Structure 1
Amino acid sequence: MDRRPPRGHRMVPHTADVRIEAWAPDREGCVAEAVTALVDTFVDTTGATPEATVEFQVPSGDDPDLLVGVLNEVIFRLETEGDVPLATEVRAANDGGLLVRWHTTGSDAVELVGAVPKAVSLHELRFGRGQEGWSGAVTLDV
Structure 2
Amino acid sequence: MGRRPARGHRRVPHTADVRIEAWAPDREGCVAQAVAALVDSFVDPGRAEPDGRAAFRLPAGEDPDLLVGVLDEVIFRLETEGVLPLATEVRPTDDGGLRVEWRIVHADAVEATGAVPKAVSLHGLRFAPDGDGWSCAVTLDV
Q: What band does the TM-score fall into relative to the shorter chain?
A: over 0.9
- 1:36 aligns to what? 36
CA distance in structure 1 between the partners assigned to 2:72 and 2:58 by the alignment: 11
- 2:50 aligns to what? 50
Q: How much has 1:132 moved relative to structure 2?
A: 1.0
- 2:141 aligns to what? 141
1:67 aligns with 2:67: yes
**Equivalent AA in structure 1 for residue 72 of structure 2:** N
CA distance in structure 2 between the partners assigned to 1:70 and 1:109 by the alignment: 22
CA distance in structure 1 between the partners assigned to 2:46 and 2:110 by the alignment: 8
1:137 partner SS: strand
Which structure 1 residue ranges, 4+ long, deviate > 6 Å from structure 2?
none
Q: Any gaps of 5 or more consecutive residues in structure 1?
A: none
Q: How much has 1:52 moved relative to structure 2?
A: 0.5
- 1:77 aligns to what? 77
2:104 partner SS: strand
Q: How much is the aligned-residue C-alpha RMSD, in angstroms? A: 0.5
1:35 partner SS: helix
1:6 aligns with 2:19: no
Q: How much has 1:131 moved relative to structure 2?
A: 1.5
Q: How much has 1:96 moved relative to structure 2?
A: 0.3
Aligned length: 142
- 1:96 aligns to what? 96
- 2:108 aligns to what? 108
> TM-score, normalized by length of structure 2?
0.99
**Equivalent AA in structure 1 for residue 73 of structure 2:** E
1:117 aligns with 2:117: yes
Q: How much has 1:130 moved relative to structure 2?
A: 1.3
1:132 aligns with 2:137: no
> TM-score, normalized by length of structure 1?
0.99
**Equivalent AA in structure 1 for residue 107 of structure 2:** S
**Equivalent AA in structure 1 for residue 12 of structure 2:** V
